C-alpha cells in the first residue's frame, strides 16, 4: 500500500490535468493515475516529414485493454480516445468554444432535456482562467456570443480556404466569426507558435497546441503533483462504514495490483470510463455501483452528431495548411421554434484537409486511374479541396447508456464497457438541416463535386452525460460541484457531469468545470470536511 495523499485523481486528461494543477497549487498532496504512457515528442507523427504514413503509430490503443462492446439495439458506435498522459487533448484540434447561457436551460426553454444546476455566470470566470492557462487565440467577433473580454492571444487570420467558404456564407446571409483555438499564435518562454503544418489532430511536435501535456500537466508537477503513467484503475475502495472512499486499487504496467489511499478521490476518465469505474466498484453497501443511489450512473450517455461536406474549387485554396478549424458559423446554434427540431448546431470552417495521401484517399482512390493520369489529376486538383463540418447537440435520453458487459473482459479481467446509443427523430431531422445548410454554403461559395456525409451515430470523441450533476440526489449523481451524493469524499470532474449537451465543443467546458470542482474541493479541505 502506498502512503496516503490528500487527493487521488483517476485520469490525466482535460478534467484530471486541470484538477491536479489547481489542487497541487493549493498545497494539497496529489497523485494522478493514468492508464496511458508519457507522450514523447519523437512519437508525434508531425515530427516526421512523411507524417501521413505514420498516423497509426501514435500510441495505438491496446485492443484488449481498451475494448468496448456495443449493444445489439444500438446504433453503430466507435469510440475515439487517446491513452496517454494528457488524454484525448493529445489528439485534439484545439477548438475552444464556450457554452452559451441558453445551453444551460434546455428544459426551461424547450420543455425537454435538462437544465444545469448552475448559471452561466458561475462558469464565466472559470472559462477566463482556463483560457489564460491555455493561451487561447481568438477575437470576440461573434455576434451571437455573450459579451466577454479579450482573448489571451490574437486570432489566426482567416486562411484562403476559410475566406473562400466565408464568401458563400456571406451570400446566404450567415455570419462567420473567428474560431477560438487553443493554439499559440505567439511564442512563449517554453513553446513555439503554430507552424501551419495542418496536422493538429495527430499531435503537435512544435508544442503550439495547448494540450494537457504542454500546459496543465507541467504546472501540476511543478506544484508537487505526482503523475503515474501506466496505472489502470480497477475499483474505488470503500471504508467499512460504506460512507467514505478509502482509496483506488489499480494495476501497474506489469499487472501488479496496488492501492493508493487518499482523503478524497476524483474520477476524471470520460463519459464511458467514469461510469464503468463506478459500476466496477460495487460493494454490499452499494450493490449497483458507487454513487448510484439514483440508479442513473451510466444513463443519459450523449455526444454530438456530425455532418460533413466536401467540395473542390477551380482555384487553389490550400486547405491543408494551418489550424484544422479557422472559422465558425453560429446562426443555427440557438433553438428556434420555427425549425422542426429542438436545439441547434455549430458549423466549423476547416483547414484540416491533410496532405497528398489523405487527398488521394478521399478524391482519387476510387477513380480507377493510375500512372501518368493519376499524377496529372493530383497535380491539377490537390490544394483545391475544402471540407466543412456541423456539430449537432443530442438530447439526453435515459435509454442511451454505458453499462458493464456480462461476458467480455479486458486484459486485466475486468468487464468492458457496453454502450447503447440511438439517434432519434430529433437528431435525424437536425442532421438533415445540417446537411442542407453545408451543401448550400459550398454551392454559394462556388464549389463543385460537392458531397455530404451524414454519420449514423454520435461522434466517438465527445463522451458526455453519464454521471449528471444536479441538486436532487434522486435525479442526479453529483451535486453542482461534482461531489457524489452518496459518497461524500468522491468527486467527478469530466464530461460525464453534463446534464444536457450543447452544440459547442465540450473540452473548454470540461476544463472550466474541473476548475470549479477543484475550488469546491479546496474549500472542503479548508473546512476540515475531507
What CATH number did the domain enclosing 274 receive? 3.50.50.60
Supply the pLDDT for residue 346: 98
Q: Are residues 351 and 450 in the same domain?
A: yes
324 falls within a domain: yes
Packing angle of the helix pair 507-526, 14-24 (nearest 10 deg): 30
205 falls within a domain: no
Concatenating the DSSP letter of every residue in 288-355 gives: T-TT-TTS-TTBS-B-EEEEEEEEE-SS---TTSS-SEEEEE-TTSS--TTSSSSS-EEEEEE----S
Q: Are residues 383 and 443 in the same domain?
A: yes
Average pLDDT for residues 310-317, to the nearest whole number?
95
CA nearest 491: which of 130, 152, 22? 22
Residue 325 near residue 179, CB atoms below 8 Å? yes
Arithmetic mean of pLDDT over the chain: 94
Q: How many domains does the chain have?
A: 2
Q: What is the pTM of this model?
A: 0.97
Residue 233 near residue 249, CB atoms below 8 Å? yes
pLDDT at 205 over 70: yes
Q: Are residues 441 and 475 in the same domain?
A: no
Q: How far apart are CA 131 and CA 382, in angstroms?
A: 36
Supply the pLDDT for residue 506: 97
Containing domain of residue 176, as a range?
A: 144-200+304-393+422-456
pLDDT tens, residue by residue, 71-106: 999 999 999 888 899 999 998 999 999 999 999 999
Return the exposure string of 217-240: e unless at least 16 CB atoms fall within 10 Å of the residue's CB, then b: bebbbebebbbbbbbbbbbbbbee
pLDDT tens, residue by residue, 253-278: 999 999 999 999 999 999 999 999 99
Q: What confidence category does residue 371 fall into, taking pLDDT thresholds of 50, 70 and 90?
A: confident
Query: What backbone torsions phi and psi does residue 389 show, to the nearest 5 degrees?
Result: -130, 155
What CATH number did the domain enclosing 173 receive? 3.30.410
Locus of grid cell 475499483: 235
Q: Are residues 194 and 243 in the same domain?
A: no
CA nearest 109: which of 391, 397, 343? 343
pLDDT at 107 over 90: yes
Q: Are residues 436 and 511 in the same domain?
A: no
> What CA–CA distances, in Å, run from 354 to 44, 248, 324, 351, 362?
15, 42, 9, 8, 10
412 falls within a domain: no
CA nearest 497: which of 318, 274, 293? 274
CA nearest 345: which of 421, 420, 428? 428
Residue 268 near residue 19, CB atoms below 8 Å? yes
Last residue of a domain, one of 409, 430, 456: 456
Q: What confidence category does residue 60 fall into, taking pLDDT thresholds of 50, 70 and 90?
A: low
pLDDT at 137 over 70: yes
CA nearest 12: which of 97, 100, 64, 86? 86
Q: Which three cell numbers stand for residue 428?
A: 435525424
> What CA–CA distances, in Å, run from 268 to 12, 127, 213, 488, 508?
7, 18, 16, 17, 15
Q: Are residues 184 and 253 in the same domain?
A: no
Q: How far apart are CA 392 and CA 440, in angstroms?
A: 17
Supply the pLDDT for residue 370: 84
503 falls within a domain: yes
Q: Which three cell numbers stand for residue 20?
A: 491536479
Q: Are residues 118 and 152 in the same domain?
A: no
pLDDT at 56 over 80: no
CA nearest 134: which of 189, 208, 193, 215? 215
Q: Are residues 248 and 119 in the same domain?
A: yes
Q: Are residues 174 and 310 in the same domain?
A: yes
Average pLDDT for residues 392-406, to the nearest whole number?
96
Q: How far apart are CA 134 and CA 360, in angstroms?
A: 35
Average pLDDT for residues 466-474, to the nearest whole number?
97
CA nearest 68: which of 339, 475, 419? 419
pLDDT at 59 over 80: no
Q: How far apart are CA 49 and CA 72, in angstroms?
A: 43
Residue 468 near residue 279, CB atoms below 8 Å? no
Residue 338 near residue 328, CB atoms below 8 Å? no
Q: Are residues 522 and 386 in the same domain?
A: no
Amino acid at each position: 500500500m502506498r502512503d496516503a495523499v490528500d487527493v487521488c485523481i483517476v485520469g490525466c486528461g482535460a478534467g484530471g490535468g486541470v484538477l491536479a494543477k489547481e489542487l497541487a497549487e493549493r498545497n494539497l498532496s496529489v497523485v494522478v493515475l493514468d492508464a496511458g504512457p508519457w507522450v514523447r515528442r519523437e512519437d508525434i507523427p508531425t515530427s516526421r516529414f512523411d507524417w501521413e504514413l505514420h498516423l497509426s503509430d501514435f500510441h495505438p490503443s491496446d485492443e484488449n485493454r481498451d475494448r468496448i462492446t456495443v449493444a445489439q439495439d444500438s446504433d453503430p458506435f466507435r469510440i475515439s480516445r487517446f491513452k496517454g498522459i494528457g488524454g484525448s487533448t493529445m489528439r485534439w484540434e484545439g477548438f475552444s468554444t464556450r457554452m452559451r447561457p441558453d445551453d444551460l436551460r434546455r428544459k426551461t426553454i424547450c420543455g425537454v432535456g435538462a437544465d444545469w444546476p448552475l448559471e452561466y455566470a458561475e462558469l464565466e470566470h472559470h472559462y477566463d482562467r482556463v483560457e489564460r492557462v491555455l493561451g487561447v487565440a481568438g477575437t470576440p467577433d461573434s455576434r451571437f456570443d455573450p459579451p466577454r473580454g479579450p482573448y489571451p492571444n490574437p486570432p489566426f487570420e482567416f486562411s484562403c480556404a476559410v475566406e473562400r467558404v466565408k464568401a458563400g456564407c456571406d451570400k446566404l446571409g450567415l455570419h462567420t466569426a473567428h474560431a477560438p483555438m487553443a493554439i499559440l499564435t505567439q511564442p512563449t518562454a517554453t513553446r513555439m507558435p503554430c507552424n501551419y503544418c495542418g496536422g493538429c489532430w495527430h499531435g503537435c511536435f512544435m508544442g503550439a497546441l495547448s494540450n494537457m501535456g504542454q500546459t496543465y500537466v507541467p504546472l501540476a508537477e511543478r506544484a508537487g503533483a505526482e503523475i503515474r503513467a501506466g496505472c489502470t484503475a480497477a475499483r474505488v475502495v470503500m471504508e467499512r462504514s460504506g460512507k467514505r472512499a478509502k482509496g483506488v486499487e489499480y494495476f501497474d504496467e506489469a499487472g501488479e495490483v496496488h492501492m493508493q489511499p487518499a482523503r478524497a478521490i476524483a474520477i476524471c476518465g470520460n463519459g464511458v470510463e467514469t461510469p464503468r469505474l463506478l459500476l466496477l466498484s460495487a460493494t454490499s453497501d452499494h450493490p449497483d455501483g458507487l454513487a448510484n443511489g439514483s440508479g442513473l450512473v451510466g444513463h443519459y450517455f450523449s455526444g454530438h452528431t456530425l455532418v460533413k461536406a466536401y467540395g473542390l474549387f477551380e482555384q487553389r485554396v490550400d486547405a491543408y495548411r494551418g489550424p484544422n478549424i479557422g472559422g465558425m458559423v453560429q446562426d443555427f446554434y440557438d433553438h428556434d421554434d420555427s425549425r422542426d427540431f429542438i436545439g441547434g448546431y455549430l458549423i466549423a470552417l476547416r483547414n484540416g484537409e491533410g496532405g497528398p495521401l489523405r487527398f488521394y484517399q478521399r478524391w482519387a482512390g476510387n477513380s480507377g486511374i493510375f500512372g501518368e493520369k493519376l499524377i496529372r489529376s493530383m497535380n491539377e486538383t490537390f490544394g483545391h479541396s475544402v471540407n466543412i463540418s456541423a456539430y449537432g447537440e443530442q438530447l439526453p435520453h435515459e435509454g442511451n447508456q454505458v453499462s458493464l458487459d456480462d461476458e467480455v473482459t479486458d486484459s486485466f479481467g475486468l468487464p468492458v464497457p457496453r454502450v447503447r446509443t440511438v439517434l432519434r427523430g430529433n437528431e435525424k431531422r437536425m442532421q438533415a438541416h445540417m446537411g442542407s445548410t453545408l451543401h448550400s454554403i459550398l454551392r454559394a461559395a462556388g464549389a463543385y463535386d460537392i458531397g455530404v456525409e451524414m454519420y449514423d451515430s454520435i461522434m466517438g470523441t465527445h463522451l458526455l452525460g453519464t454521471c449528471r450533476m444536479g441538486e436532487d440526489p434522486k435525479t442526479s449523481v453529483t451535486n453542482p460541484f461534482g461531489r457524489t451524493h452518496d459518497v461524500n469524499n468522491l468527486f467527478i470532474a469530466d464530461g460525464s457531469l453534463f446534464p444536457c449537451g450543447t452544440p459547442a465543443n465540450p473540452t473548454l467546458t470540461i476544463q472550466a468545470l474541473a476548475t470549479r470542482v477543484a475550488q469546491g474541493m479546496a474549500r472542503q479541505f479548508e473546512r476540515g470536511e475531507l
